[in-house]
Amino acid sequence: MTVADETTAQAEIGRPRRRKEDARLITGRTKWTDNLQLAGMLHIACVRSPFAHATITAIDVEEAKQAPNVVAVLTGQDVKDIQGSLPNAWPIVADQKAPPHPAIAVDRVAFAGEVVAVVIARTPRAARDAAELVDVDYDELPAVLDLKKAAADEVIAHPDLGTNISAHFELHSHEIGTGGNVEDAIRDAEVVFEREYRQQRLIPAFMEPRSVVVDPTGEQFVMWSSTQVPHILRLMLALTLGVPESKLRIIAPDVGGGFGGKLQVTPEEVITFLAARHTGRPVKWTETRSESLLAAHHGRDQWQRLTLAAKKDGTMLGLKVELLADMGAYLGLVTSGVPILGANMFNAIYKIPSYTFICDNVFTNKTWTDAYRGAGRPEATFAIERLVSDFAAHIGMDPMEVRKKNWIAHEEFPYATVSGLEYDSGNYEAATARAEEMFGYAALREEQRRRREAGEKVLLGIGISTFTEACGLAPSRALGEANYGAGGWEHASIRMLPTGKIEVVTGSSAHGQGHETAWSQLVADKLGVPFEDVEVLHGDTQIAPRGMDTYGSRSLVVGGSAVLKAAQKVIEKAKPLAAHLLEANVDDIEFDKGQFTVKGTDTGVGIGDLALATFAAHNLPDMMEPSLDAEATFDPINLSFPHGTHLALVEVDTETGKVALTKYVAVDDIGNAVNPLIAEGQVHGGLVQGISQALWEEAVYDDEGTLVTGSFVDYTLPTAADTISFETDRTVTPATTNEMGAKGVGEAGTIASTPAIVNAVVDAVRHLGIDDIRMPLTPERVWKAIQSAGQEQQAATPATQQPHFGDAPNQDTPETDAAVSGAEVGGPDSMSPDTTPGDGAER
């Protein structure tokens, strides 16, 4: 077989290849962690605290131990000297405060759902039955649940810390030399516009519940875990438990979604390890969905206060951001860093001369928060895109015009932002023009006006989100300066098999992203081999020994670059061999489409033949090692900055508060797409998660600190019937910081869509005097907002202008989650009780 026969005619990069992964997933031949059955395997059930904050005064495990088929019961007292403290890898300031984070609580619990005892039994059912027999005595302690009350330190989540403030972080453009002093801008501005927004708490809600299996038999402990980060997990377990890293092998088999929710080192991973070591037998823990919602980390949960200094003509002069971020009860792997990932993103696509970002990370007695799709950037994007639209309404400009007036023009790239980033490429004009064309912006504005003037009950709203974000944490040096616990690199190796087949080993750890397909496309093009001949291996520290795993939209841009770099090394390694076999000078060897040829001749040899030649090693150049295999580590020089313009059309039924999304246009610039089919799939899924934050999802606690939304009955994920088909397109400005010209895409849809939806709903009812409604925009909240705005309007305007509000409502006066123009109705939640956020003050 010659390589010339294998050469693919069509370029793989840019081709919408159907995925290799699908074959096993559509037939049920899957390797989810919970599928594993090992000889002698035991099962864990966790006993969890029902109290948000309490002292554990006694635990009686005797009855549970005597129950049939129970092998052991472990409490915090049993493991307190060996369980270590779960890691936080991002101390954002030198004096960050954090309590010890035990896998099993020892003498105090700090949120409802914390593990207090573990039953290990022959079957999952025996474990669960016996867990009911564990008798725990608690003395309840005062719990702090509300973020603003926590920030005021009225009740302390961890009394030993003396405060709920974990860290105070500030970034000022005048201090880092990227802009002026925002206080000067605010003092001198014609318009100072303030808003306060709420990022509600969300739950990642990956579809595969977490599961862990640990096998302690053999030289290494082998852990299978439904994790996004097998490599980070291995290192962190070694550091946490004092087990040599070389004694740990972590396998992430098929992993059913993550969205940041499986970017963690969990108590249950430590517990399963300890249980396996304790019993000397393989042990499995698989969570129930209720456990997952209760105890897997949550996301978002911020109060955001923004102050914009501007001219009356819409020109932005300064932006000040003040955040309160809810850590929950503990710091997980990157809990503390999540709000800081937004520190550079509130200025977004806009040229703002001065900028300040201030954040307080605050403990409460709730499940801890950590990364959830976008992690810090959705929060930032939501706030700035809401602010710009509200500001436009305030000064009487079209919201798109304000954006156009302030955004970075395409000829200004590369652009150094006021928050200290350098955007390498982008074209906001092009994406916006395409989106407006697809959407029919002008015609819909006209229809919106017509419905209002006709007094129709179902009104139209148009929402805009012109977002950008930052993907693939980099460069490593900057991460070091930011105190992040790891680098931003990724590793890959390529094995050239004697039959011409190729194994690509990647440190990325896919859980739905289609790396096996996309990496095959990269290597097929780079080495000129058939797509089918490339096998991608990942997710096992024994097979892929080095890696930084998959999160933050980093895998293609960073991990894909590592694969290409390794492939280039293969080519360089093969050239002397080709020259040797072709009896030519190595400088005359050219490589194209899998074939090494002598410049100016048609003599050549295929890369597969060279792989076979190194296997045989019968005829190699002197001193050449008999291998074409290569490995590479790619450390990016910058982040990548996808952007796009998203336009949403909603219908708001003013009589019921029901919001119906009727049209959604998403034009994204993700640079060059390696696989447009996969990229579009990422956009679709991302959009629904962002839309769902706007309309449906919220993790709700009651006054006692019990999670009310503790099952899928109450934590309402969208269904097929709740969603619509989106209209998507792409504009392209290639990234300049990687060979592919690619930008991240995994989080873009989620980041962009939330503000687009809320802007649309507010746009539909703004003329009624409503300028904010808190997410999720349930019919109840929208209805209440309209009702209270109606009452305000009734006093201010003749009833005939609002006939459907003309009669006094037959309901009780509603409480409202809406901010009504001129008066924030947020009640005791308001960030500072003595100020009134809402309208800007003109000067």
Partner 1 sequence: MTTIRVTVDGSTYEDEVEPRMLLVHYLREQLGKVGTVIGCDTSNCGACTVHVDGRSVKSCNMLAVQADGHEVTTIEGLATDGQLHPMQTAFHENHALQCGYCTPGMIMQACDVLRENPNPTEEQIRVGLEGNLCRCTGYQNIVKAVQQAAGALAGQQGGEQA
Q: Where are the alpha helices (DSSP H) in 483-605?
A: 515-527, 561-582
Burial of 10 (0-12, 13-18, 19+ CB in 10 A): exposed
**Residue 340: what are its φ and ψ, rounded to 5°?**
-75, -25
Q: How far is the CB of 744 from partner 1 (least distance, A)?
A: 16
Q: How far is the CB of 256 from partner 1 (least distance, A)?
A: 3
452-460, 673-681, 772-780, 826-834 -> range binding partner 1 (CB under 8 A): 673-681
Binding mask 206-235 for partner 1 (x = CB under 8 A): xxxx--------------------------
Q: How far is the CB of 302 from partner 1 (least distance, A)?
A: 22
25 binds partner 1 (CB under 8 A): yes
192-200, 594-602, 686-694, 810-818 -> range binding partner 1 (CB under 8 A): 686-694
Q: How many helices (H) and strands (E) does the chain have?
A: 22, 32
**Cβ–Cβ < 8 Å for 248, 221:** yes
Among 2, 7, 14, 32, interactor with partner 1 by CB under 8 A = 32
Tell me the residue length of the chain.
843
* Residue 259 or 805 with smaller CB distance to partner 1: 259
Q: How far is the CB of 645 from partner 1 (least distance, A)?
A: 19
10 binds partner 1 (CB under 8 A): no
Among 145, 678, 695, 785, interactor with partner 1 by CB under 8 A = 678
713 binds partner 1 (CB under 8 A): yes
17-25, 351-359, 392-400, 419-427 -> range binding partner 1 (CB under 8 A): 17-25
298 binds partner 1 (CB under 8 A): no
With b meaning 16 or more CB within 10 Å and e meaning fewer, what string describes 19-43?
bbbeeeeeeeeeebbbebebeebbb
**Cβ–Cβ < 8 Å for 432, 466:** yes
* Residue 35 or 835 with smaller CB distance to partner 1: 35
Among 10, 619, 719, 800, interactor with partner 1 by CB under 8 A = 719
* Residue 361 or 753 with smaller CB distance to partner 1: 753
700 binds partner 1 (CB under 8 A): no
152 binds partner 1 (CB under 8 A): no
18 binds partner 1 (CB under 8 A): yes
Contacts of the segment 768-771: beta carbons below 8 A, 24+ positions apart: 768/654, 768/793, 768/802, 769/793, 769/820, 769/821, 769/822, 770/818, 770/819, 770/820, 770/821, 771/390, 771/393, 771/819, 771/820, 771/821, 771/838
87 contacts: CB under 8 Å, gap ≥ 6:
101, 236, 239, 240, 265, 333
Q: How far is the CB of 73 from partner 1 (least distance, A)?
A: 23
Query: Using CA atoms, how far apart are residues 476 and 47, in angstroms rounded to an integer?
Result: 41
* Residue 373 or 580 with smaller CB distance to partner 1: 373
624 contacts: CB under 8 Å, gap ≥ 6:
576, 577, 580
660 binds partner 1 (CB under 8 A): no
* Residue 323 or 435 with smaller CB distance to partner 1: 435
19 binds partner 1 (CB under 8 A): yes
603 contacts: CB under 8 Å, gap ≥ 6:
582, 584, 597
250-258, 528-536, 587-595, 620-628 -> range binding partner 1 (CB under 8 A): 250-258
**Residue 496: what are its φ and ψ, rounded to 5°?**
-95, 105
Among 21, 429, 635, 729, interactor with partner 1 by CB under 8 A = 21
Total residues interacting with partner 1, rule: CB under 8 A:
55
Among 259, 372, 591, 783, interactor with partner 1 by CB under 8 A = 259
- Cα radius of gyration (the chain): 28
687 binds partner 1 (CB under 8 A): yes
397-386-165 Cα angle (round to 5): 140
Considering only residues 514 to 573 of the shown chain, the ones binding partner 1 according to CB under 8 A are: 514
**Cβ–Cβ < 8 Å for 157, 53:** yes
- DSSP symbols for 329-381: SS--SSGGGTGGGGTTTTTTTB--SEEEEEEEEEE-SSPPB---TTTTHHHHH
Using CA atoms in the order 52, 54, 60, 61, what is the torsion angle rounded to 10 degrees?
40
Tell me whether strands 630-634 and 604-606 are parallel, antiparallel or unpaired.
Answer: unpaired
725 contacts: CB under 8 Å, gap ≥ 6:
none
- The overall longest dimension of the chain from CA atoms, in Å, is 97
512 binds partner 1 (CB under 8 A): yes
688 binds partner 1 (CB under 8 A): yes
14 binds partner 1 (CB under 8 A): no
Among 205, 402, 579, 760, interactor with partner 1 by CB under 8 A = 205
Considering only residues 746 to 775 of the shown chain, the ones binding partner 1 according to CB under 8 A are: 749
Chain residues that interact with partner 1, rule: CB under 8 A? 18-19, 21-23, 25-30, 32, 34-35, 37, 125, 205-209, 254-257, 259, 288-290, 511-514, 677-678, 680-682, 684-689, 711-713, 717, 719-721, 723, 725-726, 749
